[in-house]
Structure 1
Amino acid sequence: MSTEVLTTGWEPRVPAGDTITRRFVLAYTARIAAMADRTGGRRKWVEGARMADLRSPFGYDNAVVVTRPLAEAEWPGVITAADAFFPSSRWWVVLSVFPTPDLTRHGLRRVGHPPLMLRPPGPLPPPDARLDVRPVTDTATLADFQAVLVAAYGLAEVGVPAIADLALARTLLHLRVGYADGVPVATAGAAVHHGIVEVDWVATLPTARRRGFGTAITAAVVDVAPELPSVLLASDDGQEIYRRLGYLDLFRATLWEHPAS
């Protein structure tokens, strides 16, 4: 008598395209690994998780991404491996699309449950004439991208994110800056892996919000491969912006952070 083994969808041999969620997890890990390789960072693969240290003062650049459902008994090993991998002075995060146990006993703090959102391929709205969207191609546009991102996220006292690197903009990432009346006011970026457009770094200066610029700059990076589905992790404030662009709510992921010591 044989027992049929049913897949969970997260075994190593399951194709990347099995589900949109699997594509997102693999795309996210591929992107942070490539960023580490191109910027002199470090990466480590452990059973059930992928880690990348971009040596960034901004914790969201230094990530542990859970790649399959973990039993509660497996979590201490993953966190111990992360503790050994990241320097004690580094701020880093854990991202899981699966439910997690309480990790506060391991020195982590819950950041929240960002919604994972999907936009199927389809027509995009016409460009907003009020926003001049330009690709990051040189030091000037990179400086504008960095300045908006730092100001919008309140990172002035933290430092420069790892994203501010022309080696990434020219080889891996599609970064865009939006200008209103010649002033940089919005940013967004995307990477294309595993058949999806993974969108990140969407930001608008507080003084330029509620004018549709977030929607316009997001549409600009989705347009790098409009024939593919687009996936992103949203903030609660950003959900409605993405819904207007045709994104659908899938479920909420879980984000923890390990502050620098």
Structure 2
Amino acid sequence: MTSMLPEEGEHLTTGWEDDLAPTDSLVRQAVLAHVSWARALTTAARGTFAEGPDWCAGRGGAPSALHNWAIVTRPPRDWAQTVGAIATAYPDGVAALVISPFPTPDLTRHGLGLVGHPPLMFRPTTTVTTTPATPLDVREATTDQQLRDAERVLIEGYPMPDMADLPPGDFYRPEVVAGPTRVFVGYDGETPVATSAAHSAAGVTVVENVAVLASARGQRAGAALTWAAATAWPGQSAVLIASDDGQPVYERLGYLRLERWTCWLRP
């Protein structure tokens, strides 16, 4: 039997090297795609995007955590150092989500609050499910008004009360759909009641910002808007970070739970 022990000085691939293909693993694809999504939001908001060897941090320019995403991009050797570096990307009083695909130690000593352990879910292209039936008219947001409609539904339906006082169009600016991002809105007549977003990167589609107003519950709005985002690029698999409430909806659409990530809030 050939020895499985590495030779002296031999590098053992961890799956998180810079020069490794995005497709090395589904989790790697999901991490890189979410980094791209954070960068796209920051760019559209004309904010700043900072990166280190095992983290990235996007600051969109508003105090809401939805504007400010930090992602741990590989297992840190020193969590205190990584969290400290992320903290420098945000001034005092600016909230940020810190998302880790890897198990974390207790970060409360660094001023973070635990949000939860949401599952990363994956929908392969081989999945066969029926397009969700809904009375809503699902449209892609391509105009300023449609983007404002999506933004208002997101703020009220998610909900994101800390974004309620932002000027219309401050989050979904036209630049956000100028690149590999698509936004969808579900209308009841001419009233926007549901929304979702899709972002293409690293060979997968990130499904994000699924929100439904209370008035539209029971119309399969969440399923329809998730479907629109997941199939925005039909040749790609889709990934999303799910809430506990959303998991049953996603499972009915063919999503599989891969693993749980960890989400912290920097208040």
Both structures adopt the same fold (TM-score exceeding 0.5): yes
Which of 130, 133, 138 is equivalent to 1:128? 133
Corresponding residue for 1:92?
96
CA contact (8 A) 2:134 2:220 kept: no
Deviation larger for 99-108 or 221-230: 221-230
CA contact (8 A) 1:54 1:162 kept: no
Among all aligned residue pairs of Structure 1 and Structure 2, give the percentage whose two residues are the same amino acid.
37
- Partners of 1:124 and 1:162 in 2: how far apart? 36
Deviation per residue, 1:96-128 (Å, 9 max, x gap): 110000000000000001110000014452363
Corresponding residue for 2:240?
232
| Structure 2, gaps ≥5 residues long | 1-5
Corresponding residue for 2:43?
37
1:111 maps to amino acid: V
Deviation per residue, 1:8-67 (Å, 9 max, x gap): 211222211101110111111122223323331101111211111111232032121111
CA contact (8 A) 2:64 2:162 kept: no
2:19 maps to amino acid: R
What value does the CA root-mean-square deviation take over the aligned residues? 1.8
Give the secondary structure class of the aligned counterpart of 1:93.
Answer: strand
Give the TM-score normalised by the residue count of structure 2. Answer: 0.90
Give the secondary structure class of the aligned counterpart of 1:167.
Answer: helix
Corresponding residue for 1:20?
26
Corresponding position: 1:256 with 2:267: no
Which of 121, 126, 144 is equivalent to 2:149? 144
**CA spacing shift, 1:108–1:136, aligned 2, 3 Å:** same
Give the superposition deviation at 1:155: 2.4
- Partners of 1:162 and 1:113 in 2: how far apart? 29
Corresponding residue for 1:175?
183
1:199 maps to amino acid: V
- Partners of 1:25 and 1:112 in 2: how far apart? 18
Corresponding residue for 2:230?
222
Q: How many residues align?
A: 257
- Partners of 2:66 and 2:44 in 1: how far apart? 17
Give the secondary structure class of the aligned counterpart of 2:99.
Answer: strand
Give the superposition deviation at 1:88: 0.7
Give the TM-score normalised by the residue count of structure 1. Answer: 0.92
Corresponding residue for 2:3?
none
